[in-house]
Structure 1
Amino acid sequence: MPDVNELLNIAIKETENLNQGEVFLVRDLFKGYEWNRISRSERLLLGTLFLNYVNTSRGSIQAIEKTSSGQQKYKINVR
């Protein structure tokens, strides 16, 4: 299993496949079975690292509202 920094890089790279205006969760960037193989603690850390990446980069990803279960939603803006 890749470490959390490798998972972060995979998630960032996967955002290149999303369309402008698309709303997504970090879990959407992984296949279901891949996501389920990541431990809960690593998923939480990955979510924190991804949010930090979005807030500190000048990329096209914007953090928007959270889901009812507390998962952060993101949106792809103009590239």
Structure 2
Amino acid sequence: MSDVNKLLEQAISEINFVEVGEIFLVKDLFKGYEWKRIPRSDRHLLGTLFLNYINAVSKVVVPIEKTSSNQQQYKKIVDRTGK
């Protein structure tokens, strides 16, 4: 699980590069080849951990509706400085 925790830390840090108002998926926070190398079970766990983090801690990103393929979407509502 430590690998998934490292991936979670990486995903959280990548939020800084998302524009305010932008809608994204967790996989968008990784390069395509990086995402494809993560085992499917770890990607699922990462998605769950990321959603839990957003719901419990983040004031910067909110979860919005899921895609037609049941992937959770997120929207950045403010940057880290509160703008």
**TM-score with structure 2 setting the length:** 0.90
Calculate percent identity across the aligned residue pairs: 60
The unaligned stretches of length 5 or more in structure 1 are none
Question: CA separation in 2, counterparts of 1:12 and 1:58?
Answer: 9
Deviation at 1:76, TM superposition (A): 0.2
Structure 2 match to 1:10:
10
Deviation at 1:59, TM superposition (A): 2.1
Question: CA separation in 1, counterparts of 2:16 and 2:30?
Answer: 13
Structure 1 match to 2:27:
27
Deviation at 1:31, TM superposition (A): 0.3
Size of the aligned set, in residue pairs, is: 78
Structure 2 match to 1:71:
71
Query: In structure 2, the residue corresponding to 1:5 is in which secondary structure?
Result: helix
Query: In structure 1, the residue corresponding to 2:50 is in which secondary structure?
Result: helix
2:41 is equivalent to residue 41 of structure 1: yes
Residue type of the alignment partner of 2:40: R
Query: In structure 2, the residue corresponding to 1:69 is in which secondary structure?
Result: coil
**TM-score with structure 1 setting the length:** 0.95
Structure 2 match to 1:61:
61
The unaligned stretches of length 5 or more in structure 2 are none
